[in-house]
Amino acid sequence: MISRKQLHDLAIFGGTPAFDERLHVGRPHVGDRDRLLARINDLIDRCWLTNNGPYVQEFERTVAGMVGVKHCIAMCNGTVALEILIRATVVTGEVIVPSFTFIATAHALQWQEITPVFCDVNPWTHTIDPRSVVAMMTPRTTGIIGVHLWGRGCDVEALTGIAQEHNLPLLFDAAHAFGCSHNGRMIGSFGTAEVFSFHATKFFNTFEGGAVVTNDDALAAKIRLMKNFGFAGYDNVAYIGTNGKMSEICAAMGLTGLESLDESIAINYRNYKEYQHELADVPGVHLLAYDERERCNYQYVVVEIDETVTGISRDKVMDILWSENVLARRYFYPGCHRMEPYRSYFPHAGLLLPETERLAARVLVLPTGTAVSSSEIRTICAIMRLATVRGGEITERLAHGSGQLVGAS
């Protein structure tokens, strides 16, 4: 293994990169390939490729059972699932949503000309801050969307109280939170309805995919119509709809992945513990903790770099990692409010979002999943340790042009 003890060992200063091949934050898990291929053969033999086929129905039943809800409506991706759910419940006005999330949460609103009003997050959990929700309310507020960021449950109880008091639908973007619980109850069963993403980069995937989960019978029926052009039967369109259907091959991937879900979580947990152990005593590097009393998928390994302690910015640490072929990501930089069109609509939004601004400058997501071994994690952590313990010196050398930036940031 390549040592990372001296500054000249770092690839950014001319050393050999620690990894020959790039390490990604989210390599897709495939599960048992033979089981998947058998299912694909079956669906080809059946000649039933989409439109509510048997695999999609089985997938929906299984997910609903796991989450403990009456309805799961599988979709082609998480973004379309969000759009359809929002259209089925909100329709107009302003919806309060955290800015510290993937851009899809905000776009799903704006796409339908509903205004996302950005609120701040709790600095410890990175999830929506209920006090900020209250502060952002106006007479035009028509809903609240909480995001269970990194798979950590929002303060569901406080949000439910606010939503009930103001008679608003409470939706959750649970894109990260499949297989996670909050206060012992599975995420997916809270609020009016919740949305999962099963994108390839998630610990559990259907290539592309997503779902709305809910206990509301009428809402589920409406969403089923909406994701299938509004068809209530042959030649009978009952509602405005779109094409949000999940295909059979995606459901085949999902059913296969569900069979190895525990194994995927165990690997993520092992990786998380390895990072926790290796980074515990690195000053200025804080690993986001998961509550181990809850069920958790440990999909994201999230660190915060405190530049006031390390003397090196998060972005420079990321450049160092990229030059070593570790493709760490600064999700969800710079915050939705600093992306278009929101940046132009609300140029001063950042003034009301101090925690979002702070996190956007500090957060770095590290590689995990089945494609990363324990020894690779130890090497990543050794790089992080060297980069941050000698951060001040590195910053100075880079300022004088002695490093080879790879253009990650």
- Rule CB under 6 A: choose which of 331, 358, 370, 406 binds ligand T4K: 331
Binding mask 310-329 for ligand T4K (x = CB under 6 A): -----------------x--
- β-bridge pairing 23-24 and 301-305: unpaired
Binding mask 23-42 for ligand T4K (x = CB under 6 A): -xxxxx--------------
Provide, rounded to whole angstroms, the least separation between the CB of residue 76 and ligand T4K. 9
Which residue sits closest to ligand T4K, CB atoms considered? 78
The separation between CA 32 and the C-alpha centre of its own chain, rounded to angstroms, equals 24
Provide, rounded to whole angstroms, the least separation between the CB of residue 368 and ligand T4K. 11
User: Which residue in 154, 139, 146 sits closest to 94, CA to CA?
Assistant: 139
Amino acid making up residue 195: V
Binding mask 54-93 for ligand T4K (x = CB under 6 A): -----------------------xxx--------------
Provide, rounded to whole angstroms, the least separation between the CB of residue 348 and ligand T4K. 25
- Tallying the residues shown for the chain, one arrives at 409
Q: Where in 165-224 is the site for ligand T4K (CB under 6 A)?
A: 173, 175-176, 197, 199-201, 210
The separation between CA 265 and the C-alpha centre of its own chain, rounded to angstroms, equals 15
CA torsion angle 192 197 198 200 (round to 10) = 180
**E-strand spans in 208-292?**
210-214, 285-287
Backbone torsions φ then ψ of 368, nearest 5 degrees: -150, -170
- Binding-site size for ligand T4K (CB under 6 A) equals 23
Provide, rounded to whole angstroms, the least separation between the CB of residue 45 and ligand T4K. 27
Q: Which is nearer to ligand T4K, 169 or 391 (CB)?
A: 169
- Rule CB under 6 A: choose which of 84, 104, 136, 326 binds ligand T4K: 104
Q: Two tokens at 268? A: 């993520």
Provide, rounded to whole angstroms, the least separation between the CB of residue 165 and ligand T4K. 26
270 burial (CB, 10 Å; 0-12 / 13-18 / 19+) is middle
Q: Which is nearer to ligand T4K, 12 or 85 (CB)?
A: 85
Can you tell me which residue has the tokens 């990260």?
176
Q: Which is nearer to ligand T4K, 77 or 264 (CB)?
A: 77
Backbone torsions φ then ψ of 185, nearest 5 degrees: -110, 140
- Sign (positive or negative) of CA dihedral 383, 387, 393, 394: positive
Binding mask 274-313 for ligand T4K (x = CB under 6 A): ----------------------------------------
CA–CA separation, 7 vs 317, rounded Å?
A: 13
Provide, rounded to whole angstroms, the least separation between the CB of residue 175 and ligand T4K. 3
User: Which residue in 330, 384, 335, 391 sits closest to 362, CA to CA?
Assistant: 330
Binding site for ligand T4K (CB under 6 A): 24-28, 77-79, 101-102, 104-105, 147, 173, 175-176, 197, 199-201, 210, 327, 331
